[in-house]
Chains A and B, each alone.
Chain A
């Protein structure tokens, strides 16, 4: 019983984080057709900015987190304008420049903060006792903030005028231009939002894992898997598959071996590509 509860709680935690990471990744793909390999770098930037403000400068947690998220979002906008915009149509170019940027970010972090992990204090101390499963408040906070962020994004896209212009561009660029939407502004905004979501995940993860220069590859790997399984460009699919993967991973690590959760991804990706290449909830693949 307690194992089940444990799997449920941990699965929800990782599922929520993967959702937060992959929603931004799939959003910018759906809207601008960009595979942003610097997505993991934004996550890393969020973690390091959080560490700098909180642990090095001693600024209040909430303010630090807000500053880190805004900083990451601005970095995303700058990357979009300076590096992606010049050749957005060329997929191979976008993949290469964003990868090069991710490596550059990694080296910048390495030079400034060194090769070793930087631990960040928990935002909240204490823990909740569910039966005999302990959940730290930090993990609870991570789940709650993830879900609030994803829900806020959802409401923003579905109800506000600006948000609707984002989904308009994703659905039909030409028609969106005809009704007076400026796609360049939409791309910039979407990239800012996408980076902010990755940054939020980074800020939240810093106390649970450490901030290290190579940390950008892990969320990228997860986001890739989530997006393939869920369906490219589909927000619903990303949420569904992130949660499923979170649970599947925890289930395997609890019941089989702590070493094998990543094999879940391999199997899931292969199954999806063979059986249903457009993903769980993707639009028809070409």
Chain B
């Protein structure tokens, strides 16, 4: 499911394209950092915070699934798990966000290592099934042990991430940009190439000396840790964690964002996360029909543009260039 066309372009044009990529990433970063100058209402800042959160989730999901084709149906396992772990550390041991965020990431990475080493050595749908089941069980557990996790209401009264919405915005922006840049360069490195080759033909990759299981597990651990970081961050920003952070609808939402944007490119999920978060917000006036329109649109995109919107844009761009050249 990767995007071989991107890589061919890169091979063909060499460094020029890479420099242009760096420039556009830098431009995106600058845009994110300057956005509060224009959009200074609290509502806008919080909406953009939400975008940063979802970008982190969708990109991290993409590293394993988009590149190797092992579909992770339980990203909420790491998001909710780290969110609640951070909340408990904060409430009972008084750890501040500067400790709970890394703790959430480390815990999620550890869980990823365990789940991954059970399932990623097997081929077939084991990984998809087990990630789905683990997330479902975590959700159940949160609901059952309500004396620890607060049941349906969750846990409130966490320490704030930073004292102001603007602070939240900038911290989340830094974490998001760091994750995106890290994942992007990772995906363009030899590590990313190995993942991509696993996605295209695992047996052949194995035959050419790639320890495919190890690569998949490492990718999953990185993916999980960023999801954990985002989950802990979200909990502090809302000053509340709830069971919906471990619910399968969150896993599905993250997956839809990455798929609509374009799996296997890291940049696609960024587009998907921004787009779906903003579309979702702007459809709010539709009331009950909102989610219907939203899910129908996702079905249409998967059906007609299975490689996602990024691929669609790129192809449209190529065609335009072709027309101009005659």
Q: Choose the segment among B5-13, B116-124, B267-275 that binds chain A (4+ C-beta atoms closer than 8 Å).
A: B116-124
Shortest distance from the beta carbon of A281 to any chain B beta carbon, whole Å:
16
A263 touches B299 (CB 8 A): no
* B129 lies within 8 A of chain A by Cβ: yes
* B125 lies within 8 A of chain A by Cβ: yes
* B295 lies within 8 A of chain A by Cβ: yes
A100 touches B126 (CB 8 A): no
Contacts of A263 in B (CB 8 A): 137
Contacts of A86 in B (CB 8 A): 303
Contacts of A91 in B (CB 8 A): 69, 71, 125
* A56 lies within 8 A of chain B by Cβ: no
B133 touches A100 (CB 8 A): no
Contacts of B130 in A (CB 8 A): 228, 269, 273
Contacts of B136 in A (CB 8 A): 217, 221, 262
| Alpha-carbon distance between A96 and B61 when the two chains are bound, in angstroms | 14
| Alpha-carbon distance between A104 and B303 when the two chains are bound, in angstroms | 13
Contacts of B288 in A (CB 8 A): 110-111
Which residues 87-117 of A sit at the B interface, judged by CB distance below 8 A?
87, 90-93, 95-97, 99-101, 103-104, 106-108, 110-111
A224 touches B71 (CB 8 A): no
Shortest distance from the beta carbon of A91 to any chain B beta carbon, whole Å:
7
| Alpha-carbon distance between A83 and B1 when the two chains are bound, in angstroms | 18
* B311 lies within 8 A of chain A by Cβ: no
A232 touches B140 (CB 8 A): no
Shortest distance from the beta carbon of A46 to any chain B beta carbon, whole Å:
20
Contact of B126 among A87, A90, A273 (CB under 8 A): A273
* A270 lies within 8 A of chain B by Cβ: yes
Residues 26-70 of chain B, each 1 if its beta carbon lies under 8 Å from chain A, else 0: 000000000000000000000000000000000000000100010
Look across to chain A and name the residue whose beta carbon is closest to the beta carbon of B304: A86
Shortest distance from the beta carbon of B125 to any chain A beta carbon, whole Å:
5
A273 touches B118 (CB 8 A): yes
Contacts of A95 in B (CB 8 A): 71, 73, 125, 128
B126 touches A103 (CB 8 A): no
A232 touches B125 (CB 8 A): yes
* B298 lies within 8 A of chain A by Cβ: yes
| Alpha-carbon distance between A273 and B114 when the two chains are bound, in angstroms | 12
* A215 lies within 8 A of chain B by Cβ: no
Total interface residues on B, CB under 8 Å, equals: 41
Q: Choose the segment among B97-105, B155-163, B252-260, B317-325 that binds chain A (4+ C-beta atoms closer than 8 Å).
A: B252-260
Look across to chain A and name the residue whose beta carbon is closest to the beta carbon of B66: A92
* A286 lies within 8 A of chain B by Cβ: yes
| Alpha-carbon distance between A285 and B130 when the two chains are bound, in angstroms | 16
Shortest distance from the beta carbon of A28 to any chain B beta carbon, whole Å:
12
Given contacts A92-B71, A103-B298, A228-B130, contact A83 B303 (CB under 8 A): yes
Which residues 1-31 of A sit at the B interface, judged by CB distance below 8 A?
29
Given contacts A97-B303, A220-B132, A262-B137, contact A92 B292 (CB under 8 A): no
Contacts of B129 in A (CB 8 A): 35, 224-225, 227-228
Shortest distance from the beta carbon of A33 to any chain B beta carbon, whole Å:
9
B132 touches A97 (CB 8 A): no
Given contacts A221-B133, A259-B144, contact A277 B292 (CB under 8 A): no
Most buried by A among B118, B122, B124, B263: B124
Which residues 125-147 of B sit at the A interface, judged by CB distance below 8 A?
125-126, 128-130, 132-134, 136-137, 140, 144
Contacts of B128 in A (CB 8 A): 35, 95
Contacts of A123 in B (CB 8 A): none
Shortest distance from the beta carbon of B244 to any chain A beta carbon, whole Å:
12
B306 touches A87 (CB 8 A): yes
B295 touches A104 (CB 8 A): yes
| Alpha-carbon distance between A217 and B73 when the two chains are bound, in angstroms | 12
Contact of A96 among B119, B122, B302 (CB under 8 A): B302
List of 6 A-B pairs having minimum Cβ-Cβ separation, nearest first? A224-B129, A107-B292, A104-B295, A259-B144, A103-B295, A100-B299
A-contacting residues of B (Cβ < 8 Å)? 1, 65, 69, 71, 73, 118-119, 122-126, 128-130, 132-134, 136-137, 140, 144, 248-249, 252, 255-256, 259, 263, 288-289, 291-292, 294-296, 298-299, 302-303, 306
* 12 further A-B pairs in the complex, CB-CB below 8 A; given A91-B69, A99-B252: A90-B1, A92-B1, A95-B125, A100-B295, A103-B252, A104-B292, A110-B288, A111-B289, A221-B132, A225-B133, A260-B144, A273-B119
A-B residue pairs in contact (CB < 8 Å), sample of 7: A35-B125, A92-B1, A100-B298, A106-B295, A221-B133, A224-B133, A285-B124
